[in-house]
Amino acid sequence: MKQVMVSDYLFLLTGIACAAFGGELFVRGTSGVAAVLRIAPSIVAVTVSAFATSSPELSVAINSGLVDKSSLSLGDALGSNIVNISIVLGTALLISGIPVGSEVLKRDAPVAILAPVLTTILLIDGVIDRLEGVFMLAIFAAWMATTVTQALKNRAPSNGKVTVSDRVLPWVQVAGGLVLLVAAGRLIVISTTGIASDFGIDDFIIGATLVAFGTSVPELASTVLAKLKGHDDIGVGTVLGSNIFNSLFIVAVAAIIRPIRVPLTEVAPALFFGVLSLLVAVPRRGTGWVRRRQGVLLVLMYSVYVMTLFFFSR
């Protein structure tokens, strides 16, 4: 057991190192890509970056659907959404408050809040079938089309020649950073699951907390580093975009591959806390800022969520 635990801790340290270095590359690359494309960094974050950082959840969705365990992908997606808001955004807010642009509030925040509500409605009969999955995918496509259209409409004018190096380097940084971030998530999932098993923690609790946390490591690293570098729009965009991808695209893919069958009562805590955390994170009316005290509340809410999961799993 000692040998297994040593390797688990080595994986954990390696994962943390990958997250730190990958997050640094990712934030630099995202800012560079936005400059090259002449669009707001938040647009890159809410689309390209959010999709890439949700790749661990997409992998879970495809693999679990192929082995007739689509409910696993639903649990991972919902759990990751809560981690994204409560831990990822909450941790960034503990550093300082975050300004949120009006376009994000009008375009992205409502979709992120309504997505888990839609999931709740579709699960009333205990199943999300293929047709409902296609419906969710259509909503996602409409949101994505709106986002891309606005980005193209609001492109900044060109300010001179851009060298080939200036065009290529940001994409290389984004790709390299994302590879390291995804690797970090995988290493942290493996290590924390092994450590928890060695201490006899229940498998359900491991999956709903540690695995969901591990697959959210890309968002955590990129958001915190973006905050430290003053790129708040990148962090907020990545978190909201990732939640939308998880709730509409990834759950839809899982349902289309194999209908998701799970009692509503089983996922009710995750759905409830998912909506509640988003409502807590919305800027107060007229301010445009998410305050540090909201971050404290979000982190505390995650603790309540974990205890609720433990209670329901007994």
List all residues 6 or more positions away from 230 whose beta carbon is below 8 Å from its beta carbon: none
- The Cα 121–Cα 128 span in angstroms is 10
Taking alpha carbons only, the member of 83, 29, 49, 23 closest to residue 215 is 83
Enter the tokens of residue 225: 């580093």
Write the CATH number for 131.
1.20.1420.30
Residue 122, pLDDT score = 92
Residue 5, pLDDT score = 64
The residue to which tokens 């550093």 are assigned: 95
Express each pLDDT in 79-99 by its tens digit.
888 888 999 899 989 988 888
Whether the predicted pLDDT of 128 surpasses 60 = yes
| Chain center to CA of 172 | 22
Task: Provide DSSP, 157-222.
Answer: PP-S---HHHHHHHHHHHHHHHHHHHHHHHHHHHHHHHHHHHTT--HHHIIIIIIHHHHTHHHHHH
Give domain status of residue 190, yes or no. no
Residue 121, pLDDT score = 92
Give domain status of residue 153, yes or no. yes
Give domain status of residue 58, yes or no. yes
Give domain status of residue 164, yes or no. no
Residue 207, pLDDT score = 59
Give domain status of residue 15, yes or no. no
CA angle 68, 70, 76 (to 5 degrees): 140
Question: Which region among 61-75, 166-180, 276-290 has the lowest average model confidence (pLDDT)?
Answer: 61-75
Express each pLDDT in 159-198 by its tens digit.
656 666 777 888 888 888 878 877 776 777 677 667 666 6
Express each pLDDT in 147-163 by its tens digit.
888 877 877 676 656 66
Parallel, antiparallel, or unpaired: how do β-strands 289-290 and 98-99 relate?
antiparallel
Residue 193, pLDDT score = 66
Enter the tokens of residue 235: 């962090």
Give domain status of residue 231, yes or no. yes
The arithmetic mean of pLDDT across residues 240-266, rounded, is 88
Question: Which region among 17-21, 247-251, 310-314 has the lowest average model confidence (pLDDT)?
Answer: 310-314
Its pTM stands at 0.77
* Amino acid code (one letter) for 137: L
Give domain status of residue 291, yes or no. yes
Count of domains forming the chain:
1
Which residues form the domain of 279? Answer: 41-158+200-313
Give domain status of residue 250, yes or no. yes
Give the phi and the psi of residue 287 in degrees, each rounded to 5: -100, -40
Whether the predicted pLDDT of 201 surpasses 90 = no
Alpha carbon separation from 145 to 30, 154, 208 (Å, rounded): 20, 14, 32
Is residue 127 helix, strand or coil?
strand
What average pLDDT is seen over the chain? 80
